[in-house]
């Protein structure tokens, strides 16, 4: 007898429907899986056999062939255990085919029949909804994640025996109902608050501008000046995510298997700070079965690279294309995959190997050649993509011991939110979400300058030798500064502030 059960494969971030066909025929008892399965899927046969037996059901002593269609998509991971087991139960008349019509199944089986967590439930549930499948059977642990998709009946399965009883109509598993009480969410907690950081007012202002428009930042300064501290406080002033953004980010974490067990939906912008020993694939994504890299895990949030020159040149150059395109394309023999990677790029570095070049009180021991070599580890094209270059000098004793607290992050965040709200209205109905996302066309339409402004930019371009990209980046930055000021027009002062964030001093 032939049974058909619907399941799902993941290609990058997108789900693709997979039909699991199970055929039983007379012959030597065996279970063979065909249809481009990987090792984990092949091992499924052993898990399915043991799980069925240990759930008090009968594993048919027949020749069983499982086909995963379409055969040209690679099937990875253990999520096909559950649909294969259901297919075997139907093919051996231990469940009725009508019971699985219009439903999708995913889940890994333990040898004792319990159903275990699988990665990527959110994109799978999204696909089901798209394909007008109204019921999805998932591991009980993953039900809250699947329930994020509206209009889907989520059946949480704990055990294969329980599922068999449900499919035989003996004991129904009630659908999962999400707990939507917002008070059940823990309030966000931040590692550091801007109020605790003494002095550095101009850096805080620059970070506020960056957060408001999603601009890239590079901080340069001597050791102990507070660069890492400032960067780590950044999440406390980032604007909240919209529901769509939350879902986008959660999909990526779901696929990477990084969703915390009790957090079905990621509500706070990610802040990723990988160590400089990270591999190229770890940063931009890749691997045999391509996984999202740090730049995709930082989607809609911040990617912070501390000690920037220590990252290998090849690793850093890998950032150039995603910073411009807001996505990364990974090529494999089987085709290309795209992961979203729209992140705010933040970096920190010392001005030279000893760290004190340009410090008024501490002599730098590096030769000019060493400094130049050090700074050249970061290529011109990468620097050109950074809108805000900011020097972080040492804070003096008086400032550091000042008991007064600075402005709290909450207050800064409120201003950032106001500026973002203006941008949200500006870009309503477009795929853009903040000023940094604008392309040349939007810049031309939205960032109009008056005569004085045009003169100022012309002079700056000549003096600083700026590229066309730098020109566009200045206009976008000026737009954000104007938004923070609640100004409809870009005034000369906004433009002047944007220009002074461009780099000027190179050895």
Ligand X SMILES: Nc1ncnc2c1ncn2[C@@H]1O[C@H](COP(=O)(O)OP(=O)(O)OP(=O)(O)O)[C@@H](O)[C@H]1O
List interacting residues with Mg ion (CB under 5 A).
228
Min CB(206)–Mg ion separation in Å: 17
Which of ligand X, Mg ion, none interacts with 492 (beta carbon under 5 to 8 A by kind)? none
In sequence order, what are the beta bridge partners of 14?
11
Which residue number, 187 or 360, has a Cβ lying nearer to ligand X?
360
Q: Distance (Å, rounded) from C-alpha 359 to C-alpha 357? A: 6
Q: Distance (Å, rounded) from C-alpha 426 to C-alpha 242? A: 15
Which of Mg ion, ligand X, none interacts with 204 (beta carbon under 5 to 8 A by kind)? none
Contact 501, 390 (CB under 8 A): yes
Which of Mg ion, ligand X, none interacts with 223 (beta carbon under 5 to 8 A by kind)? ligand X
Note every long-range contact of 164-170, with CB atoms under 8 Å and residues 24 or more positions apart, other chains counting.
Answer: 164/55, 164/57, 164/89, 164/94, 164/95, 166/99, 167/86, 167/89, 167/95, 167/96, 167/99, 167/100, 168/94, 168/95, 168/96, 168/99, 169/96, 169/99
Within positions 393 to 432, which residues make up the interface with ligand X, using CB under 6 A? 395, 400
Which of ligand X, Mg ion, none interacts with 259 (beta carbon under 5 to 8 A by kind)? none
| DSSP per-residue codes, 441-472 | HHHHHH----HHHHHHHHHHHHHHT--HHHHH
Which residue number, 224 or 455, has a Cβ lying nearer to ligand X?
224
Q: Is 201 in the site for ligand X (CB under 6 A)?
A: no
Instruction: Please choose, from the candidates 151, 157, 126, 343, the residue with its C-alpha nearest in 3D space to the C-alpha of residue 255.
Output: 126
Q: Tokens 């810049």 — which residue?
A: 443
Q: Is 221 in the site for ligand X (CB under 6 A)?
A: yes
Q: Is 216 in the site for ligand X (CB under 6 A)?
A: no
Min CB(232)–ligand X separation in Å: 8
Min CB(52)–Mg ion separation in Å: 56
Which residue number, 394 or 473, has a Cβ lying nearer to ligand X?
394
Min CB(408)–ligand X separation in Å: 14
Within positions 336 to 355, which residues make up the interface with ligand X, using CB under 6 A? 350
336 phi, psi to nearest 5 deg? -110, 150
Which residue number, 252 or 388, has a Cβ lying nearer to Mg ion?
388
In sequence order, what are the beta bridge partners of 33?
66
Which residue number, 208 or 442, has a Cβ lying nearer to ligand X?
208
Which residue number, 285 or 393, has a Cβ lying nearer to Mg ion?
393
Angle between helices 451-464 and 492-500 in degrees, nearest 10: 10
Which residue number, 343 or 356, has a Cβ lying nearer to ligand X?
356
Given 131, 228, 338, 492, the residue binding ligand X (CB under 6 A): 228
Q: Is 225 in the site for ligand X (CB under 6 A)?
A: yes
Q: Tokens 């023999």 — which residue?
A: 333
In sequence order, what are the beta bridge partners of 15?
10
Size of the site for ligand X (CB under 6 A): 15
Task: Tell me which residue has its CB nearest to Mg ion.
Answer: 228
Q: Is 229 in the site for ligand X (CB under 6 A)?
A: yes
List residues binding ligand X (CB under 6 A). 197-200, 221, 223-229, 350, 395, 400
């Amino acid at each position: 007898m032939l049974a058909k059960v619907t399941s799902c494969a993941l290609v990058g971030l997108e789900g693709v429907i997979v039909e699991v066909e199970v055929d039983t025929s007379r012959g030597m008892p065996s279970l063979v899986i065909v249809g481009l399965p990987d090792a984990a899927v092949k091992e499924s046969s052993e898990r399915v056999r043991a799980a069925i037996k240990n759930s008090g059901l009968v594993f048919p002593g027949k020749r069983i062939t499982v086909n995963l269609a379409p055969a040209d998509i690679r099937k990875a991971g253990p999520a096909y255990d559950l649909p294969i087991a259901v297919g075997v139960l139907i093919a051996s008349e231990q469940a009725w085919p009508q019971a699985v019509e219009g439903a999708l199944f995913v889940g890994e089986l333990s040898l004792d029949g319990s159903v275990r967590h699988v990665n990527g439930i959110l994109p799978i549930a999204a696909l089901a909804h798209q394909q007008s499948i109204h019921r999805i059977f998932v591991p009980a642990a993953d039900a809250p994640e699947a329930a994020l998709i509206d209009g889907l009946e989520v059946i949480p399965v704990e055990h294969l025996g329980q599922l068999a009883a449900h499919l035989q109509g003996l004991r129904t598993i009630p659908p999962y109902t999400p707990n939507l009480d917002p008070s059940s969410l823990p309030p966000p907690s931040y590692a550091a608050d801007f109020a605790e950081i003494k002095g550095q007012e101009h850096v805080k202002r620059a970070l506020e501008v960056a957060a408001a428009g999603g601009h890239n930042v590079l901080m340069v300064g001597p050791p102990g000046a507070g660069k890492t501290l400032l960067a780590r406080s950044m999440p406390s002033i980032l604007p909240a995510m919209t529901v769509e953004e939350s879902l986008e980010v959660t999909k990526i974490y779901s696929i990477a298997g990084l969703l915390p067990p009790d957090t079905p939906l990621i509500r706070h912008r990610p802040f990723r700070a990988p160590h400089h020993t990270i591999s190229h694939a770890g940063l931009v994504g890749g691997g045999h079965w391509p996984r999202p890299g740090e730049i995709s895990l930082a989607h809609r949030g911040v990617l912070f690279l501390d000690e920037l020159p220590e990252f290998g040149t090849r690793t850093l150059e890998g950032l150039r294309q995603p910073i411009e395109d807001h996505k990364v394309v990974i090529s494999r023999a089987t085709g290309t995959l795209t992961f979203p990677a729209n992140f705010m790029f933040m970096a920190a570095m010392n001005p030279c190997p000893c760290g004190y070049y340009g410090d008024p009180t501490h002599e730098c021991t590096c030769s000019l050649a060493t400094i130049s070599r050090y700074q050249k580890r970061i290529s011109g094209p990468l620097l050109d993509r950074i809108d805000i270059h900011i020097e972080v000098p040492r804070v003096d004793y008086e400032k550091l011991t000042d008991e007064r607290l600075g402005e709290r992050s909450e207050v800064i965040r409120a201003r950032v939110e106001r500026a973002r709200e203006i941008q949200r209205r500006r870009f309503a109905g477009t795929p853009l979400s903040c000023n940094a996302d604008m392309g040349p066309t939007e810049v031309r339409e939205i960032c109009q300058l008056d005569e004085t402004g045009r003169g100022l930019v012309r002079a700056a371009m000549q003096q600083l030798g700026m590229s066309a990209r730098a020109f566009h980046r200045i206009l976008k930055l000026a737009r954000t500064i104007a938004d923070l000021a609640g100004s409809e027009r870009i005034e000369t002062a906004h433009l002047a502030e944007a220009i002074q964030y461009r780099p000027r001093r190179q050895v």
